[in-house]
Amino acid sequence: MKVLVLNSGSSSIKFRLFNMKNEQVMSRGTVDRIGIDNSFLEIENFRGEEYKIEIEIPDHTTGIEMVKDALIDKKMGVLDRFDQINAIGHRVVHGGEKFADSTLIDEEVVQQIIEVSELAPLHNPHNLKGIRICEEISPQKPQVAVFDTAFHQTMPQKAYMYALPYHYYQKYGIRRYGFHGISHKYVTQKAAEIMGRPIEELKLISCHLGNGASVAAVKNGKSIETSMGWTPLEGLVMGTRCGDLDPAIIPFIMEKEDITIEEMKNIMNKESGLLGISGLSSDSRDIRKAAREGHHRAQIALDLFNYQVQKYIGAYLFIMGGLDAIIFTAGIGENASDIRAAILEGVEFLGLKVDQQANQTRQKIAEITTTDSTTKAFIIPTNEELVIARDTVRIVEKCKNAGVI
Ligand code: ADP
């Protein structure tokens, strides 16, 4: 089965074509800067050839048509015909409370995704665009939606409720949803595989540390708590997002500075986090370099980032009643050995000791604790596209067996 995975954002579409017989990536790439100047398509195939086409890409329809043409192109392509693709898997950021699993897309599902779009206005409408365009260019092809929130739907009520008047939950669905679910699911399953133990008996903490960052407590294969909340703003210190705050700060700043709700949202989402504290950059590489060179505010930013991760790990190991392994993934988690070391410092009492040499590994699976550690830590590069492709196969086969398609 060949599966095309699409991640449609506001100005970019990332794609990956899998041959699911052996889970080989046949082709991958990005359409970027859609609707802006200098737009381009970048594509790489399994033969290792890379191409970049710089051309005006005014909208998502043109972008997806370009992907389609590139995949069947004589030179760049890997297929003779587009209909050799059996199914398309879409990343959809928010599934609200409606979706606890990936699902075959039909009109009802589209309407439900539209209904929850209010909860992710920056993402869901673009994800939907990708779905609609694929329906148009390939109406017969099964399409599957894979949600970033679905993995966290197993959280108990005590973990997902906020202590606001209950009717806001009933009226607006204000509760914790959690994000990065596709990634947390992948790396925890992989950790169980590496440990050679069934995930149903493991207590794992997954740290997805990228520009956006979240931690999840995964007990017996199920997410029971995560740091992102109603939106991806809650929780850890991130590249430009503030994470946890005393909510009273928000009206205080708005009043003092005489700023609008939109401006305040912008400050919390785009001007805070590592960037806001350091005044330098949202990129952890710049922050770490500046901190090494003695930049005081870069050091504060870094300390806050690491400390916040530690606090969540501490809380999660307590609510799980123990811990078998901590997993680091995404841009920072897979690369920044100093951040990993700082987070794991001083927890030998847990039976967790960092193997300094193994911790130098980057972007590869590695056990970074000493062999005598009873609580393990791993680097596991995330592979969200593969989870989407696997889920697409699973759902399409389930629907075929049930005679739905
Ligand atoms: P996003 O949430 O946008 O997908 P990523 O997972 O790509 O983010 O993570 C971006 C972060 O990862 C940045 O802070 C960046 O500094 C860090 N990062 C990415 N690559 C490296 C690298 N090779 N070395 C150190 N840090 C890196």
Tens-digit pLDDT profile for residues 151-205: 999 999 999 999 999 999 999 999 999 999 999 999 999 999 999 999 999 999 9
205 and 344 housed in the same domain:
yes
In the chain, the amino acid numbered 183 is S
Most confident option among 122-126, 137-141, 350-354: 350-354
- State residue 51's pLDDT score: 97
- 283 pocket-lining for ligand 1 (C-beta < 6 Å): yes
CA distance linking residue 312 with residue 321, whole number of Å:
14
Whole-structure pTM value: 0.95
Question: How far is the CA of 270 from the CAs of 211, 267, 335, in angstroms?
Answer: 11, 6, 23
- State residue 121's pLDDT score: 87
Secondary structure (3-state) at 381: coil
- 19 pocket-lining for ligand 1 (C-beta < 6 Å): no
Domain membership of residue 403 (yes or no) is no
Q: What is the CATH number of the domain that holds 372?
A: 3.30.420.40
276 and 132 housed in the same domain:
no
CA distance linking residue 83 with residue 30, whole number of Å:
21
Tens-digit pLDDT profile for residues 384-396: 999 999 999 999 9
Mean pLDDT computed over every residue of the chain: 97
Closest ligand 1 atom number to CA of residue 336: 25
CA distance linking residue 173 with residue 405, whole number of Å:
32
User: Residue range 285-297: average pLDDT?
Assistant: 98
229 and 358 housed in the same domain:
yes
- State residue 300's pLDDT score: 98
223 and 345 housed in the same domain:
yes
Tens-digit pLDDT profile for residues 14-61: 999 999 999 999 999 999 999 999 999 999 999 999 999 999 999 999
Domain span at 102: 2-147
Question: Is 83 tagged catalytic?
Answer: no
- 336 pocket-lining for ligand 1 (C-beta < 6 Å): yes
Catalytic one among 37, 83, 101, 148? 148
Closest ligand 1 atom number to CA of residue 286: 16
- State residue 196's pLDDT score: 98
User: Residue range 232-261: average pLDDT?
Assistant: 98
Q: Which residues pair with 15 in a beta bridge?
A: 6, 29
Question: Which sign does the torsion angle of CA 53, 6, 243, 300 carry?
Answer: negative
Secondary structure (3-state) at 223: strand
CA distance linking residue 97 with residue 105, whole number of Å:
17
Q: Which residues pair with 218 in a beta bridge?
A: 204, 223
56 and 123 housed in the same domain:
yes
225 and 307 housed in the same domain:
yes
- The tally of domains found in the chain comes to 2
- State residue 239's pLDDT score: 97
126 and 223 housed in the same domain:
no
Tens-digit pLDDT profile for residues 80-116: 999 999 999 999 999 999 999 999 999 999 999 999 9
215 and 140 housed in the same domain:
no
Among 284, 292, 328, 359, the mutation site with the greatest number of ligand 1 atoms within 8 A of its Cβ is 284
Q: Report which secondary-structure segment, H or E, holds 319.
A: helix 296-320
Quote the percentage of the chain above a pLDDT of 90. Answer: 99
Q: Name the DSSP class of 119.
A: G
